[in-house]
């Protein structure tokens, strides 16, 4: 059990190490990178928009529900919505969803390529498959996931505002006032640090599970599920560690 775990960790790091070789053809790698950016970024935009908008809306309504004291100004609702969305909901929750959407896609894509000997075919052509198949995915995730997190933060706050104003909890002016008061730019930096860390987890862990899959279609499904579970757990652990270290 322990040996299997350490063997897996070792192979994961060897996979990462194997990526850092000179590409055979920069143009082909660039094309693959752009393809992955589109796949990961544009492909996940819809779900990110929906989730972040409703998370913001729900957090506004629930914050208002808990702040019943007349001593607390209404504008503090938007402050709480802003900070929870930027600090936690946008980076963590969105990345957990992306671990499912993007992670399972990466694992099953690579797993299918492994099982159908497409990876072997690339190897025999003399192509470094770790670099060609894994690196563009990780770099693309590194670029687009923080962008998605920024979009999610904005939409979450927008969702909160629409829900709060529409349900008469707080006026539009009060909401804006709260948004602008006590804003800590460091929170955005912290959210981006989390986004970069999670994007690495979301792309590299499923790539590992997919790249080393053995067997048939059943194993592809299993490794895809396992990759999502492991990614989610690692995201939560990293979330705690980063919060403890940086806040």
Partner 1 sequence: MIELRHVKKSFGEKTIIKDVSAVMQGGKCNLIIGSSGSGKTVLMKCLIGLFTPDSGDILYDDRQFITMSDDERKEVRKEIGMLFQGSALFDSLNVERNVMFPLDMFTNDSYKAKRRKVDEVLARVNLEKANKKFPAEISGGMKKRVALARAIVLQPKYLFCDEPNSGLDPQTSMVIDKLIHDITDENKITTVINTHDMNSVMEIGDNIIYMHQGEKEWEGNNKEIIFSKNDKLNTFIFASEFLRDAKDMRMLEVTGKIDNDRNMDELINNPDASPFIDGNKQ
Q: Which residues bind partner 1 (CB under 8 A)?
A: 24-25, 27-28, 112, 116-118, 120-121, 123-128
Q: Which residues contact 90 (CB under 8 A, 6 or more apart)?
A: 52, 55, 149, 150, 152, 153, 156, 191
Q: How far is the CB of 31 from partner 1 (least distance, A)?
A: 8
Contact (CB, 8 A) for 29 and 132: yes
Report the residue number, 24 or 173, with the smaller CB distance to partner 1: 24
Report the residue number, 117 or 173, with the smaller CB distance to partner 1: 117
Q: How far is the CB of 117 from partner 1 (least distance, A)?
A: 4
Report the residue number, 74 or 130, with the smaller CB distance to partner 1: 130
Q: Could you give the 3-state DSSP secondary structure of residue 179?
A: helix
Q: How far is the CB of 144 from partner 1 (least distance, A)?
A: 19
Q: How far is the CB of 33 from partner 1 (least distance, A)?
A: 14
Length of the chain: 247
Q: Which long-range contacts (CB under 8 A, 24 or more apart) does 4-11 make?
A: 8/208, 11/208, 11/212
What is the rounded CA–CA span in Å between residue 48 and residue 240?
A: 22
């Amino acid at each position: 059990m322990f040996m299997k775990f350490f063997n897996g960790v070792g192979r994961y790091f060897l996979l990462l190490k194997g990526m850092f070789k000179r590409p055979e053809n920069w143009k082909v790698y660039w094309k693959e990178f752009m393809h992955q950016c589109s796949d990961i970024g544009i492909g996940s935009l819809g779900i990110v928009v929906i989730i972040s908008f409703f998370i913001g809306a729900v957090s506004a309504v629930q914050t208002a529900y808990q702040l019943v004291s007349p001593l607390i100004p209404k504008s503090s609702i938007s402050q709480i919505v802003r900070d929870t969305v930027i600090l936690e909901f946008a980076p963590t929750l969105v990345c957990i969803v992306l671990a499912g959407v993007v992670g399972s896609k990466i694992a099953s894509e690579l797993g299918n390529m492994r099982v159908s000997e497409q990876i072997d075919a690339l190897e025999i052509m003399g192509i470094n498959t770790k670099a060609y198949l894994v690196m563009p995915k990780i770099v693309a995730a590194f670029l687009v996931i923080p962008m998605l997190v920024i979009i999610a933060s904005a939409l979450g706050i927008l969702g909160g505002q629409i829900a709060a104003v529409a349900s008469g909890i707080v006026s539009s002016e009060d909401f804006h006032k709260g948004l602008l008061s006590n804003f800590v730019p460091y929170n955005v930096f912290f959210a981006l640090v989390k986004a970069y860390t999670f994007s690495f987890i979301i792309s590299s862990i499923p790539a590992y599970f997919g790249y080393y899959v053995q067997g048939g279609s059943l194993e592809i499904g299993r490794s895809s599920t396992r990759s999502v579970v492991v990614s989610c757990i690692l995201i939560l652990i990293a979330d705690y560690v980063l919060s403890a270290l940086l806040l």
